[in-house]
Structure 1
Amino acid sequence: MFSFDWPWMFLCLPLPYFMWLFPQSEQESNEGALCVASVSDFELKGHNASSFYTKSNWLWLLSSVWLLLVIASARPQWLGDITDVPSSGRDLMLGVDLSRSMTVRDFYMDYRQVTRLAAAKAVVSKFINRRKGDRIGLIVFGSRAYVHVPLTFDTKTVSTLLDEAFSGMAGSSTAIGDTIVLAVKHLLRSKNKNKVLILLTDGQNTDGQVSPRKATEIAKAMDLKIYTIGVGSPSSRSLDESALSFIAQQTGGNYYRAQDLESMKKIYREIDKLEKVKQNPRRYRPVTEMYFWFLSAALLLVLLAFFSQAEWRRIRHG
């Protein structure tokens, strides 16, 4: 079903007419008011090809552009069918390390050497798509931690935004403690008792305001279960496995070591087998934003007019 999220934006449709109806006085114009070219300024005469630039055609063009812009601003949406989404009773926060060291190429995927981050994206995205019915959120961290995606049933959006994340966007170092505290803070709003953080990193805590030990105490007090995953080849020396093991042990989770792509897949498959708590299904209606198409059409009309006018001027002046 087609709908508009902000239908009141259509009240702006007659705005150009009102601006034309109440023009500035000649005195105001002489005092330095901004002069805007009228439709008639675009009228060209003296050649058969100039018919495109007649006043009526320019009026039609500008009106079409304005209409498309208003439609886009009203946020047109396609509403899918209402479906019952089974709820497993889990609120999952995914913490993904985006520090500079995640660009190290010590993983192999499809016979190609890839970065740790690329391997993590491939595995975590499949994990996300398997968790239908869970609310999933995404925290990215480096020198600082940020909620990249709040808790949502829209697993497609989570996967898309994870794929768009890149190393260094949150800083070059690693703030593990801040990431845990941010997950606790975000999950405080949830009434769900089954809260889980899956933390993936290839390093040790080198930044942030809260130490991992203090953050673990806070998470434990708030009943947040944490699964930690250490990423990197066997020769990797930057990984603080003792700290990651401590975090998982204190919060009732597990620590895993992912030395290659297959071991990482196995880890997420194991976590995927978390006991599910059946709850009443939630009603969900997928929404697809359509404003981009109308905005693109308006831009296309403007570009078409611009290049057509430039071409006509070139022909006219020989």
Structure 2
Amino acid sequence: MLELQWPWALVLLPLPILMRLFSKRQYTGQTTHWRFSELYQKDRYNQTGTSSLSTWLLHLTWITLTLALSRPTWLGEPSYIPPTGRDLMVALDLSGSMQISDMTLNDQPADRLNAAKEVLSQFIQARQGDRLGLIVFGSKAYLQAPLSFDLMTIDQLVQETQIGLAGEQTAIGDAIGLGIKRLQDKPADQRVLILMTDGANTAGRVSPLQAANFAAKQGVTIHTIGIGAEQMVVQGFFGPKVVNPSSDLDEPLLTNIAELTGGQYFRARSTQELKAVYQILEQLEPTPSEEVFQRPKTTLFHWLGMLSLILLGLSILSSGRLSLRDRRAS
């Protein structure tokens, strides 16, 4: 689709005709006569049988120059541009305790990691317009995926995580520190870290509270999720008994981390509660709702400008040759 940014420039197109019209005006007494036929008479070069190529080239020069002044732009087909949302990092605990089967999937017992994968997958697929990244942590914290709009790949990497991949212990402080590092160059109002764990900080070189204070200074919001049931029936020496599989969960620490950074702490004792947590996060950190389309623009101004210069040069060259031929003939 062709678009003229300055269409009013086209009113200059008939200017050469008007100038020639006024130059051909003749006076008889007090009456003005317009000799339109003279506009089409042959000039002195045509009288010798030679076509006035120079005149036609000048006309084309003026036309292309006027079109260039109108700033023609070619608009391509509209393409969808993902709207810019938040830069969101997910820190997932892969320590040994995540293998405890106190959750359910499809009414079947499931360990904490598989339940987290299922719910997190649904959350990732709904984050169109956000850039997501993945951190996994155990005894150490590792960047599994940098921030990206490729949500399908992020989801696939989540599904490929395994318990113990990062070690058996829990380095919460290191995970927060790595998240801050990956988010620090992003817009301050769009930096979010979701940290999901089932234990207490038992490893790492960085204190969780120290990392949380630094995150607050950097404008990183941290939402923490404590996962794991509070009751579970296990088979003991004297028969079945009820235990608390989440006795190691440090809820005061996770609460402090969230409060220091302007986030919230959530407790997920079941898969259903974990789904509810991510639904709340959808409301707290909404994705962009408006679709954005962009049409690529190609400016034709410089091409027409170059063409007008070429035509002008040819006109001057043609005029010079015809003048030389006329002098030789005389």
* TM-score exceeds 0.5: yes
Classify 1:193/1:282 alpha carbon distance in 2 versus 1 (closer, same or farther; 3 Å).
farther
Q: What residue number does 2:172 align with?
A: 176
Q: What residue number does 1:143 align with?
A: 139
Q: Equivalents in 2 of 1:219, 1:182: separation in Å?
A: 10
Runs of 4+ aligned structure 1 residues displaced above 6 Å come to none
Q: What residue number does 2:83 align with?
A: 86
Judge conservation of contact 2:127–2:287 (CA < 8 Å) in 1.
no
Cα displacement (A) at 1:280: 9.1
Q: Equivalents in 2 of 1:229, 1:170: separation in Å?
A: 19
Cα displacement (A) at 1:87: 2.1
Q: Does 1:256 align with 2:266?
A: yes
Candidates 249, 256, 263, aligned match of 1:239? 249
How many matched pairs?
202
Judge conservation of contact 1:231–1:258 (CA < 8 Å) in 2.
yes
Q: Does 1:274 align with 2:304?
A: no
Judge conservation of contact 2:103–2:271 (CA < 8 Å) in 1.
yes
Q: Equivalents in 2 of 1:226, 1:275: separation in Å?
A: 11
Q: Percent identity?
A: 44
Unaligned runs of 5+ in 1: 1-80, 284-318
Match for 1:181: what amino acid? Answer: G
Cα displacement (A) at 1:273: 1.1
Task: Show CA shifts across 1:30-55 (max 9, x none).
Answer: xxxxxxxxxxxxxxxxxxxxxxxxxx
Q: Equivalents in 1 of 2:111, 2:132: separation in Å?
A: 24
Q: Does 1:166 align with 2:176?
A: no
Cα displacement (A) at 1:193: 3.0
CA RMSD of the aligned region, Å? Answer: 1.8
Q: Equivalents in 2 of 1:210, 1:187: separation in Å?
A: 17
Q: Does 1:131 align with 2:127?
A: yes
State how 1:155-234 maps to structure 2 within 5 Å.
155-191=151-187, 193-234=189-230
Classify 1:112/1:147 alpha carbon distance in 2 versus 1 (closer, same or farther; 3 Å).
same
- Bigger shift: residues 182-191 or 171-180: 182-191
Judge conservation of contact 2:130–2:287 (CA < 8 Å) in 1.
no
- In the superposition, the TM-score normalised over structure 2's length comes to 0.59
* Structure whose alpha-carbon radius of gyration is higher: 2
Match for 2:129: what amino acid? Answer: G
SS of the aligned residue for 1:273 comes to helix
Q: Equivalents in 1 of 2:293, 2:152: separation in Å?
A: 18
Q: Equivalents in 2 of 1:209, 1:270: separation in Å?
A: 32
Cα displacement (A) at 1:192: 5.2
